[in-house]
Amino acid sequence: MEIIFTLTEELRAIATLSAGTAGSDPTETLTRLAEAVHVAVPSCTAILVAVQLHGRPLTLAVACNEDTTAPTLSSLRLDLSAPAGSEPVAAPLAVIFLSDAESAFDALARDLPPKYAHRATVDTDLTTDPGEATDPRSALDAISLVDRAIGVLVERGLQPDEAATCLQDQATAAAVQVHEAARTVLASVPRPTAGRGPPTPIGIEAERPEY
């Protein structure tokens, strides 16, 4: 079944989404996935991807039709996992399909290949509100901020895992999201002055976490 092959390919793309990966664009990938699912399940209203951004939950969403007020009467959840040995900035946890028709995903769930079939659950997300999810493009920007800030902290002498912990600690201390703490770190790096060499970064100090 061609739709299952297309769906599988897009699910594989979502499972490998991470900042710094060539071609990893949540907006384009979710849009292609929405188009593929809409062929199999015309009543699909929205697709959500639950991810962890450095340990903090984040949900991305894309609408499958113009009616965003229809109640959810059926759902399909596919649990995902990042590729073995990878440590992406954003780790995918699950893809959730919503529909305003009852039993809309039963046939699709039965036709899924074994790789995904054992991870599929039907009608467990009927109360999920896609309106509370984050726009994929905004999420991509947040992931990019975090990734760049970690790079700055690594340049200041931390290991990547220490830099990630440092950024999380700063976010917790300031009671802000991790990407906002990342924005502060990036703002502390002075812009190069014409005719001079690159300045030494100042501002927020990167302290090694105590274990």
Tokens for 111, please give them.
């036709």
| Helices 136-155, 178-187: crossing angle, 10 deg rounding | 50
- Asked if pLDDT for residue 19 goes beyond 50, the answer is no
User: How far is it, in rounded angstroms, from Cα 129 to Cα 122?
Assistant: 16
User: How far is it, in rounded angstroms, from Cα 61 to Cα 133?
Assistant: 6
User: How far is it, in rounded angstroms, from Cα 105 to Cα 209?
Assistant: 46
Check if the beta carbon of residue 82 is closer than 8 Å to that of residue 94: no
User: How far is it, in rounded angstroms, from Cα 187 to Cα 111?
Assistant: 50
User: How far is it, in rounded angstroms, from Cα 163 to Cα 151?
Assistant: 8
| Helices 26-40, 136-155: crossing angle, 10 deg rounding | 150
Q: What residue type is assigned to position 142 of the chain?
A: A
What backbone phi and psi angles, to 5 degrees, belong to 98? -120, 150
Closest CA to 142 of 106, 91, 177, 188: 177
Taking only the tens place, the pLDDT of each residue in 42-52 is: 999 988 888 77
Taking only the tens place, the pLDDT of each residue in 102-150 is: 999 999 888 888 878 888 999 999 998 877 666 666 766 777 788 888 8
pTM of the entire predicted model:
0.63
